[in-house]
Structure 1
């Protein structure tokens, strides 16, 4: 029993350390040595729980998006579906910040995924983030479909559209703006959500 608790504790420390590293630098490679050192565990222990970097990154991204979802998603069908979905999408954008914070976050993504040659490792890291984001948005859309607020249809395609909107808005947050970026962002989010909610099969 004590050994099981220690194992769970080690695994949790590893994931927490990796989440912290991603929070500090979205392009962090999550190398075995760096994560193990930050978590205070041996590299062998880390490999025991996460045999590959991909397994660790997938777990970290799932944890991050689950936290975003639990904070942002309201299952209360009494609230309008469009407002709930917009609030969820805002939660995805929130970590990027606005102005200087957004420029710094976007710069890290640029340095991690655009500047370097698209090696298998770089591609896998980016695709893992993209797929986890897509999965989370699809789960929100599936919930709305079950409630009857969204007509059955291709939620993968709808999620891809919403992710493209989010990517554009995240970039826009880092650029100079003439008006209140948050006001225009809200208008864009509602337009995108209305487009999805009105889409048929």
Structure 2
């Protein structure tokens, strides 16, 4: 790998670490890396190529055991396992209610000041980037077309939000069983839409 490519990846990762909502403009990343925009474009012809490479690098480093890399399972099961790991820390019942109470007090109850809005958007962006990374891995394997996955990311994030609320509410039947059914339905919709 060329050193200018590595410098670009390092600069972009630093920018994301400093500001999770960073857009990674070509000029800003090139300036930070100390390379020309032409050099950056040589290695990463599109902003999407740059974003995918940076996300891949970050998640490989931060989460070396990410279920998305377990190729012994089909893409469908790997994506469900990834989504499950997002829900797991929330717990069920009282734990989930505590988590939603914290979110309510941080983002819903206060006036939507610029600071509150920025904090929420940073939190939301971090979650979206994680889902985007999983879809990018599946696209690289051919399970999805190589395209912008914005709609699929938003859909899966919304499903996760709904399931996390459901975990906090009283339930009449097995939450984990219905949650699994919902996750597979959502993943099937994303994978089948990509195949269409």
Q: Please, what TM-score do these two structures have when normalized by structure 2?
A: 0.67
Q: How much does 1:55 deviate?
A: 3.4
How many pairs were matched up?
146
For the residues of structure 2 that align with 1:169 and 1:148, how far apart are their CA atoms?
28
Q: How much does 1:71 deviate?
A: 4.2
2:18 maps to 1:55: yes
Moved over 3 A (4+): 54-58, 65-72
Superimposed CA distance per residue, residues 43-87 of structure 1 (whole angstroms, 9 cap, x where no aligned partner): xxxxxxxxxxx93777xxx9xx95884444241333110100000
The residue number in structure 1 matching 2:154 is 160
For the residues of structure 2 that align with 1:122 and 1:76, how far apart are their CA atoms?
37
The residue number in structure 1 matching 2:3 is none
Cα separation, partners in 2 of 1:124 and 1:196, compared to 1, 3 Å = same
The residue number in structure 2 matching 1:49 is none
For the residues of structure 2 that align with 1:107 and 1:81, how far apart are their CA atoms?
34
Alignment check: 8 A CA contact 1:77 1:147 kept: no
Alignment of 1:174-189 (within 5 A): 174-189=168-183
Q: What residue ranges of structure 2 are gaps of 5+ in the alignment?
A: 1-16, 22-54
For the residues of structure 2 that align with 1:69 and 1:197, how far apart are their CA atoms?
23
Alignment check: 8 A CA contact 2:68 2:137 kept: no
For the residues of structure 2 that align with 1:187 and 1:163, how far apart are their CA atoms?
16
Residue of 52, 72, 78 corresponding to 1:78: 72
Residue of 126, 129, 151 corresponding to 2:123: 129
For the residues of structure 1 that align with 2:189 and 2:151, how far apart are their CA atoms?
12
CA-atom RMSD in angstroms: 2.7
For the residues of structure 1 that align with 2:161 and 2:179, how far apart are their CA atoms?
12
The residue number in structure 2 matching 1:111 is 105
For the residues of structure 1 that align with 2:124 and 2:171, how far apart are their CA atoms?
26
For the residues of structure 1 that align with 2:187 and 2:63, how far apart are their CA atoms?
17
Alignment check: 8 A CA contact 1:86 1:189 kept: yes
